[in-house]
Amino acid sequence: MSENFKFSDVFNSRTLRGRANVAKATYVSMGAIYVLMKMQKNKAKRLDAKNYCKGCQQLMPPS
């Protein structure tokens, strides 16, 4: 990052622009957490689906 970047200037709670930046950062972080949780849930479903036979939908014996 640049040596002129000041965290307290960007996320200043006394200015309208600073408060907007805090709100944007909050939305982005919540969205990222939501996406990561969805990806983790889908991965578990795919791993579980590998244990079943596609034709008969019965549990396959361990190989």
- What digits encode the pLDDT tens for the residues 5-57? 888 888 898 999 999 999 999 999 999 999 999 888 777 666 666 666 666 76
- The count of domains in the chain is 1
For residues 1 and 40, the model is more confident at 40
| Model-wide pTM > 0.75 | no
Tokens for 51?
Answer: 């244990």
Residue-range definition of the domain harbouring residue 18 = 1-63
Distance in angstroms between the alpha carbons of the first and the last residue of the chain: 51
